[in-house]
Structure 1
Amino acid sequence: DGDRFVEIWNLVFMQFLDQPDGSRDALPRPSIDTGMGLERFAAIMQGKRDNYDTDTMRALIEASAEIMHQDADGPFKASHRVVADHLRSTAFLIADGVLPSKEGRGYVLRRIMRRAMRHLHIMGAKEPVFYRLLPALIQQMGAAYPELVQHQALIAQTMKGEEERFTALLERGLTLLSDELDRLGDKEALPGDVAFKLYDTFGFPLDLTQDALREKGRTVDEAGFETAMAEQRKRARAAWVGSGDAAAETVWFDARDKHGPSEFLGYVSEKADAEVQGIFRGNDELAEAPAGDDTVAILLNQTPFYGESGGQVGDHGTLTAPGVRVEITDTQKRNGDLIVHYGKVVEGTLKPGMAVHAEIDHARRTAVRGHHSATHLLHEALRRQIGTHVTQKGSLNAPERLRFDISQPRPLTDEELAAVEAEVNARIRENAPVETRLMTQEEAVAEGAMALFGEKYGDEVRVVSMGKGDDDRPAYSIELCGGTHVGRVGEIGPFRIVSESGVSAGVRRIEAVCGLAAEALALETESRLKQIADLLKVPVADAASRVAALLEERKSLTAQVSDLQRKLATGEGTSATESINGITLSARDLGDVSPKELKGLAESISKQIGSGVVALMSSADGRGSIVIAVTKDLTDRLDAVKLVREASALMGGKGGGGRPDMAQAGGPEADSEAVFAMLRKTLEAA
């Protein structure tokens, strides 16, 4: 525990497995874990006592100290170290394609980021500053890790956006924590259910709450926290209705061991003869599948059917043999390299060992591969038009459309989408050939191929190149991809972007169509536009200006109606009041006036009468609404909230709310006579 020794190398000899009863079993493969890491070695070579004093880490610590105006070795020494360490982790994770989320790797990233942000907050940060440390990291490590430079914009925007969101959560969470601590006795541990609420509602991991409490000399009831967590999991399991698919997956491990991997022939052929290796339903292997059996999964020794993967949907088609016909409605990959055909036996009886003729739905495959090839062009066009920070986060290539999720922190403008669409169509019109080659992953990346984050690649990869290249690249788009594609880009046909929207923080979604689907969209759009023009009784070319004129006219008429309703409600100088027990009451049923208008009208009438009570009711949209206003001089005798709640009960509603001088409620009934009678009776007794 002292400072006479510095640990630079820790060897762990792993030989036994401790059993709960205290006995030990020999490990099948004893081993030695060596703890001599690169940074420890750097500390030795630089004559430092720990990793944080090495040149790289020290530069980041000093950058944190400078931006926070705090001494690097002062009272916040530990906080600077946390920030420097987590800065590296954050930047590298985002550069590698991980974005903050609620689960998996994204959740790990979010916890790392929030811990660093919490320490910045401890040091006095009131606005996002974490992202401002990124240049210091890139200066230290950008030359060795060029992906930091390539993705600098995305990393910075992601860090800033996450810190903005966390700052708002932090303020609310710390307020809750402070309120709870005020209720506890001196040094009493924070109850586990409160810590869980901070985690579940405000995104505070347990270690973040412990950090905040440690400064105050307090702890957390961890057992209570775990109990609350277990109860939530129990509720989640009770709410989830499993499909049984997970149990059924175990059968494919046995099938893989028994039959080996499926051979895919679909790159070169859309039909093939094959042998049925197995027929399955759920976790059971069947001896046969008779006609009418529509829940079978079929394994063939070879197949032209593409199993869904990499965003491309599985093929449909048929399996036929003399007297037998099976309609395949889905094809999936199982256990890595098994291609499983799902379908219905519509004729005869299918049996293992039977020879069948497998043929995919040609038209459907054509549409799917067109959308898949268009996705490659779209990806490259986005990177060239928007920036190289754009990377694929998910995709769907189906017969009727493509869906493409990208890392992008802000919405794309109409101008940017138009430029991307134009570039894709320009490449399609070039009608360049699409080439596929097999090579090692290292060779592919060296040639400029883009490997997609989250995809698993073997020793040998399939590289798809399309479009004319330039001086720097042999082709416009080069990606590692196992899907099926067109022979020439011209086969994709016209390309249209349909929509752009947000999916989650830092991820945008583009939906598009091409080929026959794009033609169908154009025809449908033209037909709808013609219908609009016919309704307006103008040529199609004049439809937009006519709609604009109608909207302007509607705006003017709406303003006129609102003005007339205001005049009607306020009485335009006519007497619409009565005096009860010395209190002026203005009670009016305004009929079909919008409930949103009632408060403003009530304020206007209150100013007119000077002192009194205003009650306005409406029956818009078949539902009653009421606003009651009490002038300030009467709020010690009458409460508008209590009055609207009594009115709401008469209207069949529940409750209501507002201030003592202005409150609103509603109900399914609009019985103004009963409500106003109640008000008169209340004023008589006031």
Structure 2
Amino acid sequence: MKNYSLNELREMYLKFFESKMHLRAKSFPLVPHNDNSLLLINAGMAPLKPYFTGQEEPPRRRMTTCQKCIRTGDIENVGKTARHGTFFEMLGNFSFGDYFKEEAIEWAWEFVTKHLEIPVERLFATVYQDDEEAAEIWRNKIGLPNEKVIYMGKEDNFWEAGIDGPCGPCSEIYFDRGPEFGCDSPDCGVGCDCDRYMEFWNLVFTQFERHEDGTYTPLAQKNIDTGMGLERLAAMMQGVSSIFDVDTIKAIRDHVCQLAGVTYGENYKNDVSIRVITDHIRSVTFMAADGVLPSNEGRGYVMRRLLRRAVRHAKLLGIEGLFLKDLVKTVVDNSKHEYTELEDKYEYITKLLTVEEKNFNETIDRGLNILKAHIDEMKAEGKTVLDGKACFTLSDTYGFPIDLTHEILEEQGLKADEEGFKVEMDAQRQKARDARGGSKYMGADETIFNQMDSTMKTTFVGYDKLETTGTLEVLANDEELLEAAGCGDSIYVVISETPFYAESGGQAGDTGLITTATGKAVVSDTTKVIGGKFAHHAQVVEGSIEKGQSATFTVENVSRMDTSRNHSATHLLQKALREVVGGHIEQAGSNVNKDRLRFDFTHFEALTHEQLEKVEALVNEKILEGLTITIKEMPIDEARKLGAMALFGEKYGQTVRVVNMGDYSVELCGGTHLQNTAAIGTFKIISETGVAAGVRRIEAVTGRGALHFYQTMENSLNEVSALVKAKKTEVVKKVESMTIELKNLEKENEKLKAEIAASKAGALTEQAKTINGIKVLVSQIDELDMNDLKNMGDSLKDQLQDGVVLLMSHVADKVNLVAMATPSAVEKGVHCGQIISAVAGVVGGKGGGRPNMAQAGGKDASKIKEAITVAETTINAQLNA
């Protein structure tokens, strides 16, 4: 067979189905859109679910994609075998109610035999045991002999997801790799567990609807969903034994070997680590490019786990220093032709992964110390098994996979409670599943919008006008579609054309009025709902409105302008951040409304005061320059040539909207904007904070919001001026003077308090009792904070020379406790930590400490006298033990 590269095979496949009138679409991002059943896209059909169900109209009835996917169900086996991986590309051709079995099978056979030129004698087909229709196509249309059409059961050849939804039989194409890959069993054939017969293309005929009661009914719209793993196909065509030998993946594998100074195939343990790193660096690179950030939850946890596994295996191979950034370049170089986002985000990807790698290097050292402490404690207590909760904490918090913990314990003759660890892990997985929601086919609960006509879409015309007239096509509430709505009713209004902007891209939805001849409704929000529709969230405030009536839709102009000011300012802000802070800055989210703007961006430390000043000044400079804002629609490739910034993880069509602010800022954006930056008025940063690992947030105001902010600050300055009795221009000097005076008074106060404490201490020493040669002083001194109490305890201890002191103080609503002992008292059995532990429990607190010093806090001052008795009893018992 011809030896095609992986990239050649991808292109051949997509071009072939383009020739069959399929729309060729770019891969969707790995982060699912409007699907809470998935953390990450795991199949070619996953992003296309709405088209299969008919809830949304596809851009074309035939589509073809090469979809990037991640599956982590077998993550523990990645590396241990040459078959398992987490990242892969899925080739697929899809029909949404267009062609069906005959075309799907014929085209698959044509591509495999005519274009790939795979020998017919090495090919087999399987069909579902009850799908005689597919079997007849293989035999009569394709010409496969009976013995090459194999019937399989439901487990192998029937596809369904979840408890309900579209499903159907499958037909799979197998390749005979040759007897050298077989098991030598006389029964060896398609379906055998050995490596001889390899399934490489699955054709799913979605023709039934499964119901929750387990019954099936035919679908009105029959669909085709095929999937073929690109890496598996490449391995087959290149005549290699595993995906790790495929050209693009082998390039990464060889780079790993070069960094480690080892040779692949010589040592199984090394090969495991090489395969882990090779696979995982592909996954985390693509995840980073789609905006996933390492974290301890959800898809961020998946990314962190993969990255940390790669780093740990690098350590096992002896790779020193930060190495991920070197491998990222190899991943990008081998995949950037199809996935241009890898090259676009290269600087950001390397920065993100390097920071996480560096952090983990520090974390793993702390984890090793914690595990060592556990081992020391186990040996001291005679234990041989580390409990599951401790194992899970090491894994979850410090990135120690259970096998690493087990390995280190084994070296010490100890074991890990792997069953207990599994219980903790299952609990976390269940928590993650609960957070994602149910497992319905669409991955989202059905709403009233699912009942609306799927062919109806809303066209937004509000870029150019704020008022239109149209027919009220759909009225609804949360439960049902309506014919009419009366005064006070809260409803959704859906029409085919609207000037109201629906919330998207971080911009809030428009507000305004809907007016008919019989009533009026106030729109409080506008949102995008399923199937490309806009829902106007409204309440009828006058009369009533009816479906089919003519209505005037009027956007609230002042709010739209304020929102547009904030939106245009975010574009200037992003550009200024990249100029002042660095080119790695990427938008990680935004939220703009009439009151303020919030901009999240990728950065790994707090911005300095000087950086914030520069950013703010640069944005205001561009506002004052009065840059003309131009907006054009153009092909996405043309937009890229202009250097237009795109949003992380956003799926763009072939035609995009480019917002250009005087050639200073060029971004892809579907939001509403001003015509000139001067209309922003002014820009003021309110705050800069961290919101997640590697993500910072700036909040700011513009226009009228900024004027309100400045007025509020002016009012505050007036109040301060009046309080300190100084002119506004002299407030700073006056406050500085008062601060110095206050510090001097505080010093004087501390001095007086120390003198009073010393005086009290002198009197208190006379109250000390002597027990077994040790002076014991237990006393209550109110209105002393913990610091003053400790100072007095030190003074009393020094005066007693051989003694133990316990002081209690009731201050505000708290009880402060301090115990101190001299070395001679400790030698005779005094333990302050134990004394405090016993006493704190009486006053409703907790505490402890060392033998010579301990402290605690309590809440119940009414029990102080009882606590004094407990203290005296405890000390007496220690000294007479």
Scaled by the length of structure 2, what TM-score is found? Answer: 0.66
Which residue identity is paired with 2:295? S
Matched, 1:422 2:617: yes
Aligned residues: 661
* Match of residue 270 from structure 1: 466
* Match of residue 482 from structure 1: 670
| Shift of residue 436, structure 1, vs aligned partner | 1.3
* Match of residue 16 from structure 1: 127
Structure-2 change in CA distance of 1:205 and 1:479 (3 Å) = farther
1:452-531 equivalences under 5 Å are 452-467=647-662, 475-531=663-719
Whether the 8 Å contact between 1:580 and 1:683 is mirrored in structure 2 is: no
Q: CA RMSD in A?
A: 4.3
* Match of residue 440 from structure 1: 635
Matched, 1:579 2:773: no
Matched, 1:130 2:319: no
Matched, 1:668 2:859: yes
Q: Deviations over 1:121-142 (max 9, x none)?
A: 33457x8633564587499769
1:256-655 equivalences under 5 Å are 256-257=453-454, 260-294=456-490, 296-335=491-530, 337-467=532-662, 475-571=663-759, 574-577=762-765, 578-581=768-771, 582-635=773-826, 636-650=828-842, 652-655=843-846
Structure-2 change in CA distance of 1:154 and 1:458 (3 Å) = closer
Matched, 1:255 2:452: yes
For residue 658 of structure 2, give the secondary structure of its aligned residue in structure 1: strand
Structure-2 change in CA distance of 1:331 and 1:128 (3 Å) = farther
| Shift of residue 533, structure 1, vs aligned partner | 1.8
2: CA distance, partners of 1:679 / 1:213:
43
1: CA distance, partners of 2:736 / 2:462:
52
Q: Deviations over 1:219-255 (max 9, x none)?
A: 999887666555456668889999xx99764432332
2: CA distance, partners of 1:182 / 1:682:
28
1:14-93 equivalences under 5 Å are 15-17=126-128, 19-20=153-154, 25=169, 27=171, 28=205, 33=228, 50-51=245-246, 56-57=251-252, 60-65=255-260, 76-93=270-287
1: CA distance, partners of 2:691 / 2:406:
32
For residue 289 of structure 1, give the secondary structure of its aligned residue in structure 2: strand
Whether the 8 Å contact between 1:644 and 1:664 is mirrored in structure 2 is: yes
Which residue identity is paired with 2:481? E
Which residue identity is paired with 2:852? D
For residue 306 of structure 1, give the secondary structure of its aligned residue in structure 2: coil
Which residue identity is paired with 1:585? V
2: CA distance, partners of 1:444 / 1:53:
29
Structure-2 change in CA distance of 1:103 and 1:337 (3 Å) = farther
Whether the 8 Å contact between 1:623 and 1:670 is mirrored in structure 2 is: yes
Structure-2 change in CA distance of 1:482 and 1:520 (3 Å) = same
1: CA distance, partners of 2:154 / 2:368:
41
1: CA distance, partners of 2:617 / 2:731:
25
Structure 1, 653-662 or 299-308: larger mean CA deviation? 653-662
| Shift of residue 661, structure 1, vs aligned partner | 2.2
Which residue identity is paired with 1:289? A
Whether the 8 Å contact between 1:88 and 1:137 is mirrored in structure 2 is: no
Task: Among all aligned residue pairs of Structure 1 and Structure 2, give the percentage whose two residues are the same amino acid.
Answer: 34
2: CA distance, partners of 1:149 / 1:159:
15
2: CA distance, partners of 1:462 / 1:15:
47
Whether the 8 Å contact between 1:59 and 1:136 is mirrored in structure 2 is: no
Structure-2 change in CA distance of 1:52 and 1:82 (3 Å) = farther
| Shift of residue 664, structure 1, vs aligned partner | 1.9
Whether the 8 Å contact between 1:210 and 1:219 is mirrored in structure 2 is: yes
For residue 461 of structure 1, give the secondary structure of its aligned residue in structure 2: strand
Which residue identity is paired with 2:835? L
| Shift of residue 520, structure 1, vs aligned partner | 0.9
Structure-2 change in CA distance of 1:104 and 1:663 (3 Å) = closer
| Shift of residue 544, structure 1, vs aligned partner | 2.1
1: CA distance, partners of 2:123 / 2:371:
41
1: CA distance, partners of 2:626 / 2:509:
26
Whether the 8 Å contact between 1:43 and 1:54 is mirrored in structure 2 is: no
Structure-2 change in CA distance of 1:151 and 1:667 (3 Å) = same
Structure 1, 111-120 or 563-572: larger mean CA deviation? 563-572
2: CA distance, partners of 1:215 / 1:15:
49
* Match of residue 44 from structure 2: none
| Shift of residue 538, structure 1, vs aligned partner | 1.5
2: CA distance, partners of 1:516 / 1:283:
40
2: CA distance, partners of 1:415 / 1:31:
55
Q: Deviations over 1:394-444 (max 9, x none)?
A: 000111100000111121111111111111111111222211111111121
Structure-2 change in CA distance of 1:358 and 1:214 (3 Å) = farther
Whether the 8 Å contact between 1:115 and 1:208 is mirrored in structure 2 is: no
Structure-2 change in CA distance of 1:348 and 1:165 (3 Å) = same
2: CA distance, partners of 1:12 / 1:195:
48
1: CA distance, partners of 2:283 / 2:639:
27
* Match of residue 93 from structure 2: none
2: CA distance, partners of 1:437 / 1:317:
27
For residue 83 of structure 1, give the secondary structure of its aligned residue in structure 2: helix
| Shift of residue 172, structure 1, vs aligned partner | 5.8
Which residue identity is paired with 1:464? V
For residue 554 of structure 2, give the secondary structure of its aligned residue in structure 1: strand
| Shift of residue 183, structure 1, vs aligned partner | 7.9
Gaps of 5+ in 2: 1-81, 84-115, 129-151, 159-168, 172-204, 206-223
1: CA distance, partners of 2:276 / 2:875:
66
Q: Deviations over 1:553-584 (max 9, x none)?
A: 33333333333333333338834312333432
Structure 1, 71-80 or 248-257: larger mean CA deviation? 71-80
Structure-2 change in CA distance of 1:161 and 1:565 (3 Å) = farther
Whether the 8 Å contact between 2:252 and 2:330 is mirrored in structure 1 is: no
Structure 1, 88-97 or 400-409: larger mean CA deviation? 88-97
2: CA distance, partners of 1:267 / 1:554:
59
For residue 545 of structure 2, give the secondary structure of its aligned residue in structure 1: coil
1: CA distance, partners of 2:860 / 2:488:
55
Whether the 8 Å contact between 2:308 and 2:399 is mirrored in structure 1 is: no
Q: 2:357 aligns with which of 163, 166, 184?
A: 163
Whether the 8 Å contact between 2:835 and 2:871 is mirrored in structure 1 is: yes
Structure-2 change in CA distance of 1:121 and 1:570 (3 Å) = farther
2: CA distance, partners of 1:461 / 1:189:
60
